[in-house]
Amino acid sequence: MAVRPQRSAGLTAASTSGGDAVELQLLLEGVFRQYGFDFRQYAPASLKRRVARRIQAEGVTTITGLLERVLHDPAAMERLLLDLSINVTAMFRDPTFYVAFRNRVVPLLRTYPFTRIWIAGCSTGEEVYSLAILLTEEELYDRTRIYATDINEAVLDRARAGVFPLDRMREYTDNYIRAGGTRSFSEYYLAKYEGALFDRRLTENVVWAQHNLVQDRAFQEFTAILCRNVMIYFDRPLQNRVHELFHESLERFGILCLGHKETIRFTAFEHSYQELDPQEKMYRRIR
Ligand SMILES: C[S@@+](CC[C@H](N)C(=O)[O-])C[C@H]1O[C@@H](n2cnc3c(N)ncnc32)[C@H](O)[C@@H]1O
């Protein structure tokens, strides 16, 4: 009797050479068991695209081929991690968010003698430098500590260095102006060769740390948490778990900021927050 697959989904011939959903699950399981990174509840559509790209870049033909390489070669795992974690970011990304932060969040932060802000999933740090600039201009930086975390140590190293591509400074200057910046953006960096080296004072009150939102627990109580453009890659149950972590980590009346395409609505914590700015996905914990 011929054995036929009962179900076929996942990476098909269109994206790789004959992989399928079972292979993808095995890859994620292998990565988790060998390296401890848990991508098993990330949204499948984006995972499939990333894995297909890595298969091609590694010169293998199937997901199983990729799994074998990753299990025996930690450098291949690092490359896969960079693909899976999706690190796209920008300074003053979505400038209207920063305008709303100045108008709605800053007045609340002023009422505290000292604030702790967690930027979860900070990638290469552009968001952290942007917030540090905003808080400096609002004269709040000296009484703030920013905890900037990401699952990926390699991007945190780049964030710590604070050198960003010079060819993006025009875009960032434009974002900064649209975000309500009050100075000249070039005051904040020194142009050197190909890079713009950002003022070290902007990171004086920043603690950089590796933290995995899927597996690690709360580590502080925060006045505000920014987690933008991270949970969009998680499935619904995982989003709920991360919201539980944020709820646990926020002080009462603390502020939660999500990305433009994310929302607290339809999660288990919808009723624990009041909308501060629905458009900009800013919420205040009320219970
Ligand atoms: C698209 S970037 C967003 C960067 C920044 N927040 C922004 O909005 O520009 C997503 C970041 O989330 C991080 N990330 C993905 N899964 C994570 C996890 N389980 N724990 C912590 N960070 C994670 C990735 O490494 C990546 O740097």
Q: Model confidence at 21, in pLDDT bands (50, 70, 90)?
A: confident
Q: Rounded to an integer, what distance in angstroms lies between the CA atom of residue 123 and that of residue 287?
A: 30
Checking if the pLDDT of 253 tops 60, the result is yes
Checking if the pLDDT of 13 tops 60, the result is no
Q: Is 230 in the pocket of ligand 1 (CB under 6 A)?
A: yes
- Of 31, 117, 123, 262, the one to substitute when testing ligand 1's pocket (max ligand atoms within 8 A of C-beta) is 123
> What is the pTM for the complete model shown?
0.91
Nearest CA to ligand 1 atom 3: 229
Q: Rounded to an integer, what distance in angstroms lies between the CA atom of residue 37 and that of residue 117?
A: 25
CB 268 within 8 A of CB 238: no
Which ligand 1 atom is nearest residue 123's CA? 27
DSSP string, 102-120: IIIIHHHHTTSSSEEEEEE
Nearest CA to ligand 1 atom 17: 151
Q: Is 214 in the pocket of ligand 1 (CB under 6 A)?
A: yes
Please report, for residues 111, 206, 217, 249, the alpha-carbon distance to residue 253 in angstroms, rounded to integers and kept in the order given: 12, 23, 21, 12
Distance 62 CA to ligand 1 centre (A): 27
Residue 275: Cβ-neighbour burial (10 angstroms; 0-12, 13-18, 19+)? middle
Nearest CA to ligand 1 atom 16: 85
Q: Model confidence at 6, in pLDDT bands (50, 70, 90)?
A: very low
Q: What is the layout of strands, in order, in the sheet containing 163-165?
A: 163-165, 195-198, 189-192
What percent of the chain is modeled with pLDDT above 70? 93
Q: Model confidence at 4, in pLDDT bands (50, 70, 90)?
A: low
Instruction: Summarize pLDDT for 29-61 with one digit per residue, the tens.
Output: 999 999 999 999 999 988 999 999 999 999 999
Nearest CA to ligand 1 atom 2: 87
* Residue 265, C-beta contacts closer than 8 angstroms, at least 6 positions apart: none
Q: Model confidence at 85, in pLDDT bands (50, 70, 90)?
A: confident
